[in-house]
Structure 1
């Protein structure tokens, strides 16, 4: 995938990617990154054992792998998509630009030469950066492809994980894989789930779509050819960012009309989550009392995130786009190739329906988790909110330990469950939003990597102590001085 520089004005002399990569390589050399190997090589029953297996090669998986390398820990990343299609950016995402401010450093892990800005300016110059509003979506994917290469992340593409199972007789986790070469299995000491927004489930699909054949509706996260909506009357349920992106894409592809059915009486104006993004919360959320963690995450959920200004204008510029407020769906009646949707404001007739209703934790939709799903302790097992503050998303969130590790609902029933680390969106209640979103992904990756280094060292203590005992490289050779005679013998 290549980036077309045409939309950007080139400044006098951008340094070029080769020069940037040389600068980054020097920075990594000066920092000793990756760290020298210190982890013992393991085998089990004649099979090699990975230090860490990361499931998901998007920005979270890449950041986690690079942060682990800084700690001298080897990681292999498995992703079900072909190269360049990891994450949603080149597949199911439909925004024109990222929603985050361009200045956020994302997965750069504190390395200036690894930031998107450095990558962009190296190709297009500082003047082009100055006039850039937000980062184009596909250009972010180009940057992540470059990131993977320059950080030498070991990603095995077109490899789907079909089962994850802690072994009862060894401190290991077994992964069953579906690869282009057929079914395979690998063993890892620890596993990281870097599986994105729907990391422990899938789309939250409202029950009313059950009245429709699957060919007449889609979730906004579905991979779909929007060109097939040309000339159709389209309904979009919701008014968040994905709803706007879906509505705009349908209109741009020639939909006859798009009606947004919005449950709320108005759109929220302020992104409260953006206001929460301060270093104190990033670093301190995990240590907050339960009631404060719940309070802040529930408040942000209830306030809801408004769609971006540009995304909303992208829809409203079309005269055949209609914003219908106070319009929850009451029922749907199929009518041949179309449907009648009843709302408090009246009935609508559509040819196709897009539901933009978010995601939910749903273990049943992820068969790869069958061996662990019933054993994972969730927040509903830990905390009961005060009346009026119930929140199903938070209740279903996993109750994670300090290194994002799952914990058992009943002690002793799933040994090794804590070797699986949840580095995706459902970690937000336990750790804050440090495991998927651009603003604090580096902080989360560093927390994960440093925590894992500690866990590995404790587990392998006898090995490392034996290495200390066996260490024999002399600092002194005995010829660096001459022993002084007793004072009485000195002339």
Structure 2
């Protein structure tokens, strides 16, 4: 294991099997899975009702919710190998999750599906009480178990290359060693594509002329062992920047210097202070000005790296935090990287790591080539007050209540209503309910309720005919005997008497 926790208790295997039986019993009590109610689509080629792109946390809980809603004609694609979905065992390099261990995450209202239930089944209540934060690899183990115990049909090694309209449907071009065909048709698409699912890694212009062997983004595969004895500069001080700095230091880097444009370290995770069910429920209804106000404030104050991650760096004497030191330019001097800063001082390094996060930009998504520019963005819909301008926030898609894209110009791309952005790109419109652990189940519930309503409305005539054709009797005719009314005159006579 890549983390240090108590070893499983001797009866852990039995306990985990007992938990899995409990999950199955709970699902049976909830009548899961219900019968599929969606009318089949008449077509020469099979048409799926929903295709979910992504088999990580967002894709798993969305798929569980779809099946639980009686929408079973679905496919789930993930480009990664099984067990490597999402960032947890790839470019995520923190030791533990930031989220408190008790959050229910993708459990979707089922106690037996929580991380706590899974952990206690293997390690016991005492170990749960001692656990501080969830080790990152352990979270991936939990998600793999979640997928297994729910029997979610994720197809690994399948990458969606393009999403194109075709009549009333969407055609997905797919590739990869797990692909059984070259394309599929579907009525709805759920892009459960995670942190970079509606954009791309943010790459500053200053590395434009720097050969790629001298730098990497924090989401790239990095050979940290090769950095032993090297001078490393990390741009930024967010969570990913700090985690990558720690990895370089632990691999034996000669020194690691953070170049930080801010004048001081961000220390408060502001959204933690207002997180509640009320906030989650109200955010989509707050109006454009208030939603922008909250998101802009959050982006500007920046979410700090966790305390443990930061101390993982600062405990090394060869780690340095340089504030008010924005990168102005980068160039090569032989094999040395020369970085000019806003302080007028230069820093020399052997390797540069960009902890610059991800940008939201639908135009960067290759799956949407040919019509991404028709997607309504926040900058098209809302003009912020002076001093609240934010180009980054302006590029977020302005979504409908069901996570679907809206058209920049009505009538130009009506098929956008069939693509649901259930990823970090939804944050500006609907809040953090489609990427982060705290609100993921609420987000899945909203998403699936709205998809179900669309599927039903689009085939209303067929459901109406089902109503008309339904002829299974509740009563057989032998449950009662008809009785004549008594004579009215006799009744009146008795009343007069």
Q: What TM-score, normalized by structure 2, do the two folds share? A: 0.94
Cα deviation, residue 179, structure 1? 2.6
CA distance in 2, matches of 1:410, 1:287: 23
Question: How far apart are 1:345 and its partner, in Å?
Answer: 5.9
1:243-287 Cα distance to aligned partner (Å, 9 max, x none): 110000011111111011111121111100211311111011111
In the alignment, what sits opposite 1:306? Answer: 304
CA-to-aligned-CA distance 1:160-194 (integer Å, 9 cap, x gap): 11110122xx3211100013257610001000111
2:388: which partner in 1?
A: 389
**1:352 paired residue number:** 351
Q: Please state how far the C-alpha of 1:415 moved relative to its aligned partner.
A: 2.4
Distance 2:19 2:34 in 1: 22
The Cα of 1:12 is off from its aligned counterpart by: 8.2
Q: 2:76, 2:154 within 8 Å by CA — same for their partners in 1?
A: yes
Q: Give the equivalent residue in structure 1 for 2:93.
A: 94
CA positional deviation for 1:328: 0.7
CA RMSD of aligned residues (A): 1.8
Change over 3 Å in CA distance of 1:132–1:262 after alignment to 2: same
The answer to whether the 8 Å contact 1:424/1:435 transfers is yes
Q: What do residues 430-465 of structure 1 show as CA deviations (whole Å, max 9, x unaligned)? A: 000101100100000000011111111111111111
Distance 1:193 1:133 in 2: 33
Secondary structure of the corresponding residue to residue 208 of structure 2:
helix
Q: How far, CA to CA, are the matches of 1:178 and 1:10 in structure 2? A: 40
1:257 corresponds to:
255
Paired position in structure 1 for 2:64: 66
CA distance in 2, matches of 1:372, 1:150: 39
Secondary structure at the counterpart of residue 125 of structure 1 = helix
Q: Displacement, 1:371?
A: 2.8
Counterpart Cα distance in 2 of 1:222 and 1:213: 15
| 2:318 match | 320
Distance 2:268 2:189 in 1: 37
Q: Which has the larger radius of gyration?
A: 2
Q: Secondary structure at the match of 2:327?
A: coil
1:439 maps to which residue?
438
Match of 1:177 in 2: 174
1:264-283 map, 5 Å: 264-283=262-281
Secondary structure of 2:340's counterpart equals strand
Alignment check: 8 A CA contact 2:331 2:339 kept:
yes
> 2:403 — aligned with what?
404
Q: Distance in 1 between matches of 2:3 and 2:428?
A: 40
- C-alpha displacement of 1:111: 0.5
Contact preservation (8 Å) 1:202, 1:360: yes
Instruction: Give CA deviations for 1:70-112 in whole Å, capped at 9, x if unaligned.
Output: 1111221111101011100011100011111111111110100
Instruction: Determine the structure 2 residue equivalent to 1:218.
Output: 216
- Give 2:30's aligned residue: 31
Unaligned runs of 5+ in 2: 491-497
1:89-142, Cα deviation, whole Å (9 max, x unpaired) = 011100011111111111110100000110111111111110001111011111
Aligned counterparts of 1:272 and 1:212: Cα–Cα separation in 2:
36
Tell me, in whole angstroms, the C-alpha distance in 2 between the residues paired with 1:252 and 1:416: 49
Q: Equivalents in 2 of 1:179, 1:205: separation in Å?
A: 27
Separation in structure 2 between the aligned mates of residue 301 and residue 449 of structure 1, nearest angstrom? 29
Cα deviation digits, residues 188-211 of structure 1 (max 9, x gap)? 100011111111221111111113
Find the residue that maps to 1:177 and give its secondary structure.
Answer: strand
Is this contact kept in 2: 1:363–1:370, CA < 8 A?
no
Deviation at 1:5, TM superposition (A): 9.2
More displaced stretch, 107-116 vs 266-275:
266-275
- Work out whether residues 93 and 221 of structure 1, in 8 Å CA contact, stay in contact via their aligned partners in 2: yes
CA contact (8 A) 1:202 1:362 kept: yes
Q: For residues 56-455 of structure 1, what are the structure 2 equivalents within 5 Å?
A: 56-74=54-72, 75-167=74-166, 170-180=167-177, 184-343=182-341, 344=343, 346-455=345-454
**Secondary structure of 2:321's partner?**
strand
Q: Report the Cα distance in structure 2 between the residues aligned to 1:145 and 1:24, rounded to whole angstroms.
A: 15
1:468 is paired with a residue of what secondary structure?
A: helix
| 2:483 aligned residue | 484
Unaligned runs of 5+ in 1: none
| TM-score (normalised: structure 1) | 0.95
Separation of aligned partners in 2, 1:317 and 1:427: 37
Stretches of 4+ aligned residues off by more than 4 angstroms: 3-6, 9-15
8 A contact 1:201–1:361 mirrored in 2: yes
Which residue does the alignment assign to 2:495? none
Mapped partners of 2:239, 2:485: distance in 1: 85
CA shift at 1:68, angstroms?
1.0
SS state at 1:453 partner? helix
